[in-house]
Structure 1
Amino acid sequence: MSEFHVNIDQLGNGVSTPTIYRVDDSLRDSLRYTNEKAYDPMIISIGPLHRGKSHLKAMEQHKVRYLKKLLGNSGHVDMYKDAIRSEVKKARAFYAEEIGLSDNEFLDMLVLDGIFIVEFLREYKVVDGGRVRRVGNLIFDSVYIVSHLLRDLVLFENQIPLSVVEVLFHLSNRDDKQEFKDLFWPLTGCHDVPRAIMANDDDKPKHLLGLVHSVKCFSFAQLRTHEKRWEEKKNINSATDLKEAGIVFKKKPKVEGKDCGWLDITFEKRTLYIPELMISDETESLFRNMIAHEYYLSGSRPRYVSDYVFFLHCLMRSTKDVEVLRRCEVIRNWLGGDARVYEMVDRLGTNVFNSRVFSYEGVFDGIHEHCEKKWNKWIAVLRRHHFNNPWTILSLVAAVVLLTATIVQTVFTVTSYYKES
């Protein structure tokens, strides 16, 4: 076991206001009769808000097994409890509602849940072919259980303070080469968590979802200076309408070393470059919980994911719009049909709250400028009313050919007349 280097005084530092709330009804409204469980854990409870639910009790045994495996023959759990015992009060303040657990029960929960997070992510390995390696652990015998666990660990209501997880990581660390930030790539999808995210104690993510959000938005945040406010609610036309107006959609190539630049949408020379978005069964849950995280951020901090979802909502107003983006390889659809993607984006875009300084202000301005030019408007009208089906195009081509033939015949007749005279 490595030497413990974390300063316990830093535990919970900066949590002066609650960080975790129960998701507001305004965010849940669009889920009614559709995906009502987007904020609820499927197989594991982390933290107090979903603790004790019957369908989550089976995983409690795995938490205990992880703890026993870590302790080995020593059984010295008191070392872990003592490391965070003095911070129970700060950890309670992490939640917006009063937690009905005694201090000892709350402490036991933090240790059990924190050790599970650390040990599960330590054991998570990927081998060739993308399959999860079995490590003598029943959890890893099922890719579905692993997938559900990764989903549940980043739910907004299913969190404990990240500072607690960090203390438990360092106290239990058996590999001096492994850094705390290296633990999270199964959740973030990025193999190299930027050091800047973890460097500043005041701005350090407060929980796993906040960490995932920070990592996924980091490279995009570095590109945006946000110099002006978004004074009024703007919209852009759908993908179909923009295509008819002469705008081209292209998949933005990945930049080496920036595998999380999925938010970086740009508009140049009538071309809208959009990084490829893979849409699967987990996409809606992840987006919803990142949006919930942004919804409760204090102050006027940028809401990058909310802005991105609003952008998608503008582009995809019908199944036909989804088809346009899919054919341009902007979307990779694993849901099974364009209609399902449209319905998901429509739900996500309901009641979404944008940044006060909109992340795509410049892109929207460029699109509006393109669409306002008279020549582009004329082209759009021609395409919409005269080139909207192959028969109209064939008729126009035939008319042009007939008119050309008539002109040629007329010129030939007149020329022949003058030659004869």
Structure 2
Amino acid sequence: MWCEKPVSAGSGKDWVVEMEKMLDGADRAAETARWSKPSIYRVPEWLKDMATDDGAYRPRLVSLGPFHHDDELLRPMEEHKRRAVLHIVKRSRKRLGEFAAAIAGVADELLDAYDNLGGRWRREDEGGRRRFVEMMVLDGCFLLEMMKGLSDRRAPDDYAPNDPVFSVHGMLCLWVGIRGDMLVIENQIPLLALYRLEQVWRGNTPLSEKDINNLVLNFVYDPLKDREMPREDIIENKLCLHPLDIYHKNFCELTEAGIHLKKCRGTHVIDYRSRVLCLPTVSIHDGTEKIFLNLLAFERLHGDAGSEATDYMIFMDNIVNSERDVALLRSKGIIRNLLSSDTEAAQLFNNLSKGAVLSPFSRLHDVRRKVNAHCRRPWNRWRAILEHNYMSNPCVLISLIAAAILLVATLLQTVYSVLGVYKS
């Protein structure tokens, strides 16, 4: 006869007890609150395997935040972070403790921004929380010093004119590298930290969350942005999550203004109703692939980010198949290609969207449907061939007109000859 065996210590009973303790956190409200906190993520291996650039998700010059804080290759910049803090404290005539207290007051919120951070940064007894506050002060002050220096177009007077980092020459030379590291998804610092540090720095001078957004946007500015579009139409009054979030919001505004047709303001190329498709101008350079890979990773890992960047890359992949397509878009001013060839630019678009799926809610489905319907009509294809092969070259066009006149004259002569025979 079967009978239940006694449960020994360390058996499944312990697992059941532990799981039952977690039941309270399994309801929808608790899980929604949990997943709404993180906004900075480590890129999973399956996503890294899809990237053609092995270093796309790693900073190369400066670490920001805890994920790459102990990277030996990034350690030389730590000295300059400390120098930035000392100069800011002295210049602002504030105490260092005020900057640390400002960060400590929001430490829980800053810690929660990092997904699966690990307990060592939170433990009070081991000094992890204190080290986290110190890191946020160092990283935040370093960024503020760099961003404000370039924004003012001048280096602070309290640095040596030949300073390797904080002179005009130093900031201009390091800008591309620092900007690239600021857009790495694993290398983000919450803008809340910058906001609190800037509050202390300014003292009684008014500061809005939009001021921090604009400061960061100016630093990570790229030719991808439409220079004619008012900045007020792009940046929110509410504090953004981090630098990559600002870049993402700026990019997605441009996507709506360009690809979604309704807000199109620039040069047009094709649309079903008027044979015009509006596309935003995009610059392709050595850092473009890294930036886009981190934008796509941010959308895949952060549920509230949307899918505009991913949808845009898939749409461009559908348009660009070869260097001839890049050349056409370049001739229309849609692509600014700073790479060595149009072939490289075409490969970039074709590689970035691998494994990605166009969102079922994307309005680009309607744009693509209109373009495909336009292309499927035989007359549109014939007219395109006629325009491309014959009407684009004046000499060929003149030859075509002459041939048409000769053909009509020949037909008329034949008709008159037939009519003459018929009358006879």
Q: Secondary structure at the match of 1:332?
A: strand
Which residue matches 1:210? 245
Q: Report the residue type matching 1:279 in the other structure.
A: I
Give the C-alpha shift of residue 267 in structure 1.
Answer: 5.6
Which residue matches 1:285? 290
Q: Report the residue type matching 1:326 in the other structure.
A: R
Which residue matches 2:130? 104
Kept in 1, the 8 Å contact 2:190–2:242? The answer is: yes
What are the Cα deviations for residues 93-134 of structure 1, in whole angstroms up to 9, with x where unaligned? 2222233441121111111111112221111137xxxxx645
What are the Cα deviations for residues 336-377 of structure 1, in whole angstroms up to 9, with x where unaligned? 210110111122111224333113133112212312334325
Which residue matches 2:175? 146
Give the C-alpha shift of residue 158 in structure 1.
Answer: 0.4
Query: In structure 2, which of residues 130, 133, 141 is the aligned counterpart of residue 115 of structure 1?
Result: 141
Which residue matches 1:330? 334
RMSD over equivalenced CA pairs, Å: 4.0
Q: TM-score, normalised by structure 2?
A: 0.72
Give the C-alpha shift of residue 411 in structure 1.
Answer: 4.2
Give the C-alpha shift of residue 172 in structure 1.
Answer: 1.0
Matched, 1:168 2:200: no
Alignment of 1:19-418 (within 5 A): 19-32=39-52, 35-72=53-90, 76-99=95-118, 100-101=120-121, 102-125=128-151, 133-135=154-156, 136=161, 137-139=163-165, 140-142=168-170, 143-173=172-202, 176=205, 179-184=211-216, 185-188=218-221, 192=231, 197-199=236-238, 204-218=239-253, 253=266, 268-298=273-303, 302-377=306-381, 379=383, 403-411=407-415, 413=417
Kept in 1, the 8 Å contact 2:234–2:250? The answer is: no
Question: CA separation of 1:370/1:14 partners in 2, compared to 1, >3 Å: closer, same or farther?
Answer: same
Q: Report the residue type matching 2:295 in the other structure.
A: M
Q: Distance in 2 between matches of 1:415 and 1:223?
A: 59
Greater radius of gyration (CA) = 2
Kept in 1, the 8 Å contact 2:38–2:113? The answer is: yes
Question: CA separation of 1:218/1:410 partners in 2, compared to 1, >3 Å: closer, same or farther?
Answer: closer
Query: More displaced, 61-70 or 372-381?
Result: 372-381
Q: Secondary structure at the match of 1:270?
A: coil
Identity %: 27
What are the Cα deviations for residues 182-230 of structure 1, in whole angstroms up to 9, with x where unaligned? 422222457835697233xxxx42212112222332465589999xxxx
Structure with larger RCO (C-alpha < 8 A, sep 6+): 1
Kept in 2, the 8 Å contact 1:302–1:357? The answer is: no
Give the C-alpha shift of residue 168 in structure 1.
Answer: 0.8
Query: More displaced, 93-102 or 171-180?
Result: 171-180
Give the C-alpha shift of residue 157 in structure 1.
Answer: 0.6
Q: Report the residue type matching 2:112 in the other structure.
A: A
Which residue matches 1:247? none
Q: Which runs of 5+ in 2 are unaligned?
A: 1-32, 122-127
Higher helix share: 2
Q: TM-score, normalised by structure 1?
A: 0.73
Q: Report the residue type matching 1:151 in the other structure.
A: G
Q: Distance in 2 between matches of 1:378 and 1:418?
A: 38
Q: Distance in 1 between matches of 2:384 and 2:258?
A: 32
What are the Cα deviations for residues 44-92 of structure 1, in whole angstroms up to 9, with x where unaligned? 0001111122221121111111100011187832222222224333322
Q: Distance in 2 between matches of 1:285 and 1:75?
A: 38
Q: Distance in 1 between matches of 2:357 and 2:417?
A: 70
